[in-house]
Amino acid sequence: MHLTNFLDARNICIERRVLTKEQVYAQMVENICHHRKLPVCGKELLELILKRDREATTAYPTGIAIPHIRMDGFDDTVMAMTFLQNPLDYEGTKVSWVVLIITDKSSSKLYLNMVAALLGVSRDQALSASLTSLQDSHAVIHRLKQLDIEVKKDLTIADIMVQNPVSVGPDTLLRGLSDIMSERDISSVPVTDADGKYLGEV
């Protein structure tokens, strides 16, 4: 299955204005709800998405944010995209590409596979920049079709693992560890020896 199978040009925005995250999400919700019948729509859906966003950040260091919601009584998957000329600030992470995914509660595997595919694209900075610079939604779909991005049926650890994680040595001071965890907003760090051999985790 290809990523473009989940896309509708009416749900893709090229945004040149300076907007808040809430305004971007509201626009995406409005576009989806205008064309699709969902069990929850409008302000109620927006609040659910913002609540989920407050629980855990949806932004990735590659400049993409992937807010999502799993919905009871909905047996489909819908995606909306916004490409931002003026990036949003997600607590220090600059985001130029927001992808909203709405799925049913039983589609967690599909959702994770979609995230893995999107993260793969976002890791290519030149490609992400070229998508952001496109002039309209049809051009975005055309470019994504050219890329032939597949949403895998099976997800592997390599698709979602953190590449090149920061690590500490066993002699690192707790103060240094605390600084690293705060700066990178992470909750665990591998401990390695001078040769990079894994010793444990804190």
In angstroms, what CA-CA distances link 87 with 44, 58, 100?
25, 15, 16
Per-residue pLDDT of 137-150, as tens digits, reads: 999 999 999 988 88
pLDDT at position 161, please?
Answer: 66
pTM to 2 decimals? 0.76
Q: What is the mean pLDDT of the chain?
A: 88
Query: Which residues have CB under 8 Å from 131's CB, separation 6+?
Result: 83, 97, 121, 140, 143, 144
Per-residue pLDDT of 146-162, as tens digits, reads: 988 888 766 566 656 66
In angstroms, what CA-CA distances link 135 with 3, 106, 121, 149?
20, 35, 19, 21
